[in-house]
Structure 1
């Protein structure tokens, strides 16, 4: 898969200049697991957008891999000079499949529409992979929280031909066998940077509680964490719309992991606190616009389901450890509903360590270091 060239222009693409659909285009609402999807399984096509509420349109950027796409949310933005335009929220990975989708939008639904700013909900490549490219081509600023921007810069620059000692030590501690360790050594380190177009040296900081004034619409920043350090959700209180990024997804649970960047962190504790914060802050009847999947209603239902799912995993894990000590790798059957192969081993380990850390913090298990391997015991 080719990356986006720095000199790449925006050639003409197929699509009508008026390719924006509306709520009235015969969409059929569906319900599933207590959530309502006003547009059913529909999604905007190449070069198209769907206006889902006043002040916001929905575009979908295709990506390789199991997720298959990221949703980009286009917020109506009247800039300080009084001109109309759109702010882009999340962009896709730095690959031609994603940049081609943006070219189709520029020639289709966004023809003659000015891009006013780029907003990254958080640091992962599917969200900011093309943020620098769009910001540079359109001459606009990137807006992010400080925790996301600085962490992104750190990870982008962290490259090596072999896995660092810290990563190998954590894998051994989690119980990886020697074959897995050797495979990790040979895979190299720093793929993150390959999926992100160079970020601008300067950015506009946003923080929890900020209100982004876009003229007719105001979006309040609501920060969560656990999936990433300082994830920004955007809430339009007047219109009842929440752009949730990866902080709330309708059908899958976001990855919550410990990694070598902050090995002593308690990301699952932060995630659970963020769920409680969102329930207390944002009304349950908002239209939630996630990064993956379809817009839905039933925010509090989904948040409580996510909380209950993790709480049940923690309960099952604590019960099993009370009967017999285990390492992180032995917790996989209790946490995941499928076998973990080599391709999923790193992510599964990060999630397992996050659950075990939460049990430690809650005083329900103790960790013992046996020659660099961590064993978890029940607490009498």
Structure 2
């Protein structure tokens, strides 16, 4: 088995420019206003002079301008969205109205996007802050998050009201080639990846990234959920793909080494679990273990994901019987390991 990743396309396309990565499959790279400063979008040749679009980018005038440049000589045929996060879904409504497109995505992702946008059903800023305060978030950061408000709407100012539903195992024929839908959980509720067996291509979205592990977090709507178990199980859905599959991720460079990357991700999360378990010699909140999992300084945006990810690893330790969840009289939740302490 290949043990290291290789990168057959090391040069990234300029903003608004399209690079071909395989016959009939093209790479469009868009900016993001975060530390993770880019997203990869994909165009798949469809009928004559038409392309299917995979993901949308974050809503901003420069991304819209880049789309117009990229599609100046191409007519889009349909829009496929991997999941509801704003860098993937944020310009869906605009693209659909601008080019009269239909949308394909999974049911859970479509509805979750609307729940987050409207701040309902456990997806409000207030619900998030209540969860984070219960897990040790200090008031200065809580106030900053409260002042920020519903950040999702900035990246997705308007959402579509209709879609075609994708299920795991569905097949899409695009430009005469068949793409199989593989859904995954953990990063988001029902993330869609696309596999083309005839070309040995996988559009992996955020499920398989070459350099970083995708965020796996716990959110207020299901505070005792175990999304890390879901994510690790979902990785198994890609193991049957050929070793020489070209993986087209949403962030980072296209790579070969699918099985090696799956092994690396499993090892990474087990190492993080072991480090975290060792830190729980006394009861700690999720906020208190963030420095154990993340050594660098974090901005307000990153703290949201870091606390969600800390909770995901803590909940997984509880599910494995390696830690215990405690609820204190101060209303805060703490975790302590169940093995011997020193």
**Fold shared, TM-score > 0.5 on shorter chain:** yes
The one of 24, 37, 40 aligned to 1:71: 40
SS in 1 for 2:35: coil
Does residue 1:274 correspond to 2:243, yes or no?
Answer: no
2:125/2:150 contact within 8 Å kept? no
Shift of 1:188: 4.6
2:119/2:125 contact within 8 Å kept? no
Q: Distance in 1 between matches of 2:127 and 2:95?
A: 35
Instruction: Go from structure 1 to structure 2 and tell me whether the alpha carbon gap of 1:215 and 1:183 turns closer, same or farther (over 3 Å shift).
Output: closer
Instruction: Go from structure 1 to structure 2 and tell me whether the alpha carbon gap of 1:96 and 1:194 turns closer, same or farther (over 3 Å shift).
Output: same
Quote the residue 2:303 is aligned against.
345
Shift of 1:328: 1.1
Does residue 1:136 correspond to 2:105, yes or no?
Answer: no
Quote the residue 1:361 is aligned against.
319
Q: Distance in 2 between matches of 1:329 and 1:210?
A: 40
The one of 143, 163, 171 aligned to 1:203: 163
SS in 2 for 1:86: strand
- Deviation string for 1:147-196 (max 9, x for gaps)? 1001001111128xxx75433321222112333334444x1532212211
Instruction: Go from structure 1 to structure 2 and tell me whether the alpha carbon gap of 1:184 and 1:197 turns closer, same or farther (over 3 Å shift).
Output: closer
SS in 1 for 2:308: helix
- Deviation string for 1:228-255 (max 9, x for gaps)? 1110000000100000111111111111
Shift of 1:76: 1.4
What is the root-mean-square deviation in Å for CA atoms of aligned residues? 1.9
Larger radius of gyration between Structure 1 and Structure 2? 1
2:38/2:251 contact within 8 Å kept? yes
Instruction: Go from structure 1 to structure 2 and tell me whether the alpha carbon gap of 1:127 and 1:182 turns closer, same or farther (over 3 Å shift).
Output: closer
TM-score by length of 2: 0.92
Quote the residue 1:3 is aligned against.
none
Q: Distance in 1 between matches of 2:17 and 2:287?
A: 44
Q: Which moved more, 1:124-133 or 1:231-240?
A: 124-133
The one of 44, 55, 59 aligned to 2:28: 59
Does residue 1:221 correspond to 2:181, yes or no?
Answer: yes
2:144/2:300 contact within 8 Å kept? no
Q: Distance in 1 between matches of 2:252 and 2:141?
A: 33
4+ residue runs over 6 A deviation:
none
Q: Distance in 1 between matches of 2:42 and 2:276?
A: 38
1:285/1:298 contact within 8 Å kept? yes
More contact order relative to length (CA 8 Å, sep ≥ 6): 2
Shift of 1:274: 1.0
Instruction: Go from structure 1 to structure 2 and tell me whether the alpha carbon gap of 1:181 and 1:91 turns closer, same or farther (over 3 Å shift).
Output: closer
Shift of 1:57: 1.1
Shift of 1:341: 4.8
SS in 1 for 2:333: strand
Does residue 1:101 correspond to 2:66, yes or no?
Answer: yes
Structure 1: runs of 5 or more not aligned: 1-32
The one of 323, 328, 331 aligned to 2:286: 328
Quote the residue 1:46 is aligned against.
15
Does residue 1:153 correspond to 2:114, yes or no?
Answer: yes
1:46/1:105 contact within 8 Å kept? no
Shift of 1:197: 4.1
SS in 2 for 1:94: coil
Instruction: Go from structure 1 to structure 2 and tell me whether the alpha carbon gap of 1:307 and 1:90 turns closer, same or farther (over 3 Å shift).
Output: same
For these two proteins, the number of residue pairs brought into alignment is: 334
Shift of 1:96: 0.5
1:256/1:350 contact within 8 Å kept? yes
1:133/1:197 contact within 8 Å kept? no
1:244-259 maps to which residues of 2 (within 5 A)?
A: 244-259=204-219
